[in-house]
Amino acid sequence: MARRRQVDLVRRLLEQNASAAIDAPGPAQSLGPTASFCESVQAAVDSLPLNGRHGLVFALCGAGLFFESLNLQVMSFVAPMIAREWHIGATLLGTVLSAAIMGMIVGTYLFGAIADRSGRRLTFQLTVGIFSVLTALSGASTALWQLALARFGAGVGIGGSIPVETAVLAEFTPVRWRGRVMAIWAMALPLGAFAAPFSVSLVPASLGWRGLLFLGGLPAALLFVLRRTIPETPQYLASKQRVAETNRALQWIARRPMTIAYRHVGSQARPTFPVNPEGVLFDPAHRRSTAMSWMIYFGSFFGYYGFVLWLPTLLGTYLGLERPQVLHFMLGLALAGLLGRIVVLVMADRADRRRLIMLCAASAVIALVGFAMQTQYALMLAWGYAAAFFLEGIFSVVIPFVAELYPASARASGVGWAGGMGRIGMALAPLAVGLLVQLDVRVAIGSLALGPLLSVIATCVEQRVAGRRRSGRIISRVVYRLTYSESAAR
Query: What is the H or E stretch that residue 169 is in?
Result: helix 144-172
Report the chain's C-alpha Rg in angstroms: 25
Per-residue confidence (pLDDT) for residue 6, from 0 to 100: 40
Q: Which range (66-80, 233-247, 313-327) has the least confidence?
A: 313-327
Q: What is the mean pLDDT of residues 420-448?
A: 80
Tally of CA atoms within 13 A in the half-sphere of 124 that contains its CB: 30
Per-residue model confidence as pLDDT tens digits over 378-395 = 888 889 899 989 998 888
DSSP assignment letter at 204 = -
Per-residue confidence (pLDDT) for residue 472, from 0 to 100: 44
Query: What is the H or E stretch that residue 6 is in?
Result: helix 2-19
**Closest alpha carbon to 162 in 296, 77, 66:** 66
Portion of the chain with pLDDT greater than 90, in percent: 4
Q: What is the mean pLDDT of residues 171-181?
A: 82
Per-residue confidence (pLDDT) for residue 390, from 0 to 100: 92
**Closest alpha carbon to 281 in 132, 471, 409, 148:** 409
Per-residue confidence (pLDDT) for residue 276, from 0 to 100: 67
DSSP assignment letter at 317 = I
Q: How far apart are CA 365 and CA 51, in angstroms?
A: 41
Instruction: Name which residue leads in pLDDT, 207 or 14.
Output: 207
Per-residue confidence (pLDDT) for residue 460, from 0 to 100: 82
DSSP assignment letter at 32 = P
Q: How far apart are CA 225 and CA 201, in angstroms?
A: 29
Query: Does residue 271 have a pLDDT over 50?
Result: no
Query: Does residue 29 have a pLDDT over 70?
Result: no
Which string of DSSP letters, residue by residue, matches 63-75? HHHHHHHHHHHHH
Per-residue model confidence as pLDDT tens digits over 469-487 = 444 444 444 434 444 444 4
Per-residue model confidence as pLDDT tens digits over 110-165 = 887 788 778 888 888 888 888 888 888 888 888 888 888 988 998 898 888 888 88
For 5, residues 6+ apart whose C-beta sits below 8 A from its C-beta are none
Torsion over CA of 57, 61, 64 and 68, rounded to 10 degrees? -170
CA dihedral for 129, 131, 134, 138, sign (positive or negative): negative
Q: How far apart are CA 49 and CA 38, in angstroms?
A: 20
Per-residue model confidence as pLDDT tens digits over 329-376 = 888 887 888 888 888 877 766 677 788 888 989 999 999 999 888 878
